[in-house]
Amino acid sequence: MIRGTGDAERGPGQVRVLRVIARLNVGGPARHVALLNAGMDRDPRFRSWLVTGTENPSEGTLLQYAQDHGVEPLVIPEIVGQASFAPRDLVALAKLTALTRRIRPHVMHTHTAKAGFLGRLAARAAGVPVVLHTYHGHVLSGYYSRAKTRALQAMERGLARMSDQLIAVSDRVRDDLVQMGVAPVERFRVVPLGLDLAPLFDFLCTNA
């Protein structure tokens, strides 16, 4: 069962965006997706959903951060952010595909490796018109054995061909992926991460 399915009603003419991240652990990607969803939902042209899995036991969570920004994620517990494959991944893929078919998004936007794997497969199975993936970094070099690294690189090449647009958060990330043969440079757009500056302004005003 997907926890927090929320209201899936759609306004006429809205662009529906389904965003997927493996987990809302403490870090930049989780903040990024929360701010993206919150910002899009303030624009009447869009309706967005955020799907996430579960954090590992030793990790903190930014679920409250997302909720504080008005985002109530849809939780598929079987999505686990690990560079390995297990039976739960098949369950996660089935649930994500079913959810995608129910929401019928115009755009699937995935973040992080495991969500990129499951989300892009689900998107293509459900016939989503536009599929985007953002690379916040990668584990395609220096993390695993040579055989596993080659397998992950081959997988990313295949997933890149299933994507309409690849996004990197920096020139360095893009250049690494191009060098590893994930996709040619013209397939990438570099979009730096945005920041929520409101807390900084509040602090400066308070301490002025």
Contact between 24 and 73 (Cβ < 8 Å): yes
Cα separation, 137 vs 104, whole angstroms:
29
Instruction: Say what the pLDDT of residue 19 is.
Output: 98
**Two tokens, residue 22:** 């493996």
What domains appear along the chain, each with residue ranges and CATH number?
15-206 (3.40.50.2000)
Best CA proximity match to 96, nearest among 36, 20, 166: 20
Per DSSP (E only), the strands in the chain are 15-21, 46-54, 74-80, 107-111, 130-135, 165-168, 188-190
**Two tokens, residue 133:** 């993936």
Instruction: Say what the pLDDT of residue 4 is.
Output: 46
- DSSP assignment, residue 160? H
Contact between 118 and 96 (Cβ < 8 Å): yes
Mean pLDDT, consecutive 10-residue stretches, the chain (208 aa), reads: 48 89 93 94 95 89 94 95 82 98 98 96 98 91 84 94 97 95 96 77 70
Please, which residues have CB within 8 angstroms of residue 148's CB and are 6 or more apart in sequence? 83
Cα separation, 153 vs 150, whole angstroms:
5
Q: What is the pTM of this model?
A: 0.88
Query: Count of residues for the chain?
Result: 208
Best CA proximity match to 16, nearest among 52, 43, 55, 56: 43
